[in-house]
Chains A and B, each alone.
Chain A
């Protein structure tokens, strides 16, 4: 079960640290808080981890049973091309989530929740570091003309608004987003990492188990605060209410579904031995898991609201309210409990993109009525965002035939600050190796971090 740890070559390691200083300024607080919130845990290590003793033969697809590739050139060329895209997208998500978390981390109302998210962010940084390790530790020239340093620069220069997947281009409105994101979006991450454990490229497959072990805590860092908030929501002076949580769930769930890719796709990745499930199979499992998560949170709410009921009585009450979608003893499915939106609600990618399906699965024919319906189900601060404005314009255009669906599917809002970030974020090639003098100084030179 041991894993092998390594650091990136200096230029890449320094580039990641440079990125951290600009995008994750709270990172230095982690060691300060470690002993308080994670006593006795092994210290955090910003390093690549490669699991030992992993299967050596391809586990799925056309080449099942053949030895796994240890270099990109040993892969089917199409597989290498797809894998490179997967690694770049994965890296984008890791760095992207840190940028999102950082914006509202300071707004946490509970120091433990904040410390947990801080650890999640550090581990996402390690996951991004792991992906850069995969990009820079092998020769990808058989499938791309882009040099490793350019691939890394491209990843490190992405900001909220220019990432590969929509879920990482949404800004957080409050610390509730930090938590709900961990519960829903990190859960998609768990699915992707689990599917990639079989990857035909050995270094990729061996990267997954250490990441998955960390991801398990990320999910807990989302679900446990949500459970506590649900219990507290029973009180009349609750600040985070169930309707508030519901609207944040509505913001993220559809974006999570879209991270699996189009429901009709994924067969190629299975055939090429890169993943072991198609998009729809994985997405269906994810939906069932999210439904179970909300059941658990709701049951915590019901127990707090009806403390005199026994466990069995409370479970039976919840089951009846859920089955009837009704209200019993003042407990209302619509007003009090968390629900998953219909899988086609507020979708912008995939087979139900822009189809005007409502929260409960009903179909709308009037686009303005649909936009109003979606608006009423989203958090107020998010409704005011450029992301929702952009979606509403596209939705109108698609419904009225003025925007082709294909164009809408690939359209992403450009946030105002994209391109306005620190220019030295693109720093890989500017980190220059300098000779270190025997006394530990830089031999009279500074490491240059500017062009």
Chain B
């Protein structure tokens, strides 16, 4: 069944599939949130964000782009910002395939480093990123409740 996986750039027609995956993971139906995000990434760089298409249905997505100058980090950085895989198709290596495609695009855009942030409670995501050879950065995420 691995043959029916296609990794390709995200399009506006993936919106419903992405919303469905998010709903399965978070139990929240948030079409307006994903419309805003998909619209943002498509207009910024339509070739960047990727989806995993399994048998014609969106089974995973990963959104990100190359930016520079964030947090004083001037070098072009590939930022990985949103991703999700349908719980029904986990274990098929979709996350690795998505990240490989996204990192390849980042490299082609001139980035030599990829960065992301993960909530400490998200052990699954942290484990996945570690397996993808992401290491703790010499940066500290800080926050203050307002």
Chain A interfacial positions (CB closer than 8 Å to B): 1-2, 38, 40-41, 116, 119, 212-214, 216-217, 219-220, 223-224, 227-228, 231, 289, 292-293, 295-296, 299-300, 303, 311
Contact = CB atoms under 8 A, between A and B. Distances in A.
Contacts of A41: 43-44
Interface string B21-59: 001100001011001001100111111000000000000
B73 to A, nearest CB: 15
22 contacts: A38-B43, A119-B43, A213-B47, A214-B46, A216-B11, A216-B12, A217-B46, A219-B11, A219-B12, A220-B43, A223-B12, A223-B13, A223-B15, A224-B35, A227-B31, A231-B31, A289-B13, A296-B13, A296-B16, A300-B31, A303-B31, A311-B24
B43 A300 contact: no
A2 B109 CA distance: 7
Interface residues of B, number: 25
Shortest beta-carbon contacts, A-B, top 3: A216-B46, A296-B16, A217-B43
Given A1-B108, A224-B35, A224-B39, A213 B16 contact: no
Nearest to B67: A40
A231 B19 CA distance: 15
A67 B79 CA distance: 38
Contacts of B46: 212-214, 216-217
A217 B42 contact: yes
A224 B12 contact: yes
B43 to A, nearest CB: 4
A213 B41 CA distance: 11
Contacts of A38: 43
A161 B65 CA distance: 41
Interface of B: 11-13, 15-16, 20, 23-24, 29, 31-32, 35, 38-39, 42-47, 67, 105, 108-110
Nearest to A300: B31
Contacts of B23: 311
Contacts of B43: 38, 41, 119, 217, 220
Taking each of A2, A224, A227, A295, which has the highest tally of chain B beta carbons within 10 Å of its own beta carbon? Answer: A224
B12 A220 contact: yes
Contacts, number: 61
A214 B45 CA distance: 8
Nearest to A220: B12
Nearest to B36: A224
Contact of A1 (B31, B38, B109): B109
Nearest to B38: A220
A228 B35 contact: yes
Given A213-B47, A219-B11, A299 B16 contact: yes
Contact of B39 (A214, A220, A292): A220
Contacts of A212: 46
A110 B54 CA distance: 36
Contacts of B105: 1
A1 B13 contact: no
A289 B13 CA distance: 8
A300 B16 contact: yes
Contacts of B35: 224, 227-228
Given A41-B44, A224-B12, A228-B32, 18 more contacts: A1-B47, A2-B110, A38-B43, A116-B39, A119-B43, A212-B46, A213-B45, A213-B47, A216-B12, A217-B43, A220-B42, A220-B43, A223-B12, A223-B13, A224-B35, A296-B13, A296-B15, A311-B29
Taking each of B15, B16, B32, which has the highest tally of chain A beta carbons within 10 Å of its own beta carbon? Answer: B16
Contacts of A119: 43
Contact of B13 (A2, A40, A293): A293
B126 to A, nearest CB: 28
Taking each of A212, A213, A300, which has the highest tally of chain B beta carbons within 10 Å of its own beta carbon? Answer: A213
B15 A227 contact: yes
A217 B20 CA distance: 22
A213 B65 CA distance: 14
Contacts of A231: 31
Taking each of A116, A119, A217, A231, which has the highest tally of chain B beta carbons within 10 Å of its own beta carbon? Answer: A217
A420 to B, nearest CB: 37
Nearest to A219: B12
Contacts of A1: 47, 105, 108-109
B102 to A, nearest CB: 14
Contacts of B20: 311
A223 B10 CA distance: 14
A296 B20 CA distance: 11
Taking each of A2, A214, A216, A295, which has the highest tally of chain B beta carbons within 10 Å of its own beta carbon? Answer: A216
Contacts of A289: 13
A295 B35 CA distance: 16
Given A217-B42, A220-B38, A231-B31, A292 B47 contact: no
Contact of B29 (A216, A224, A227, A303): A303
Nearest to A225: B35
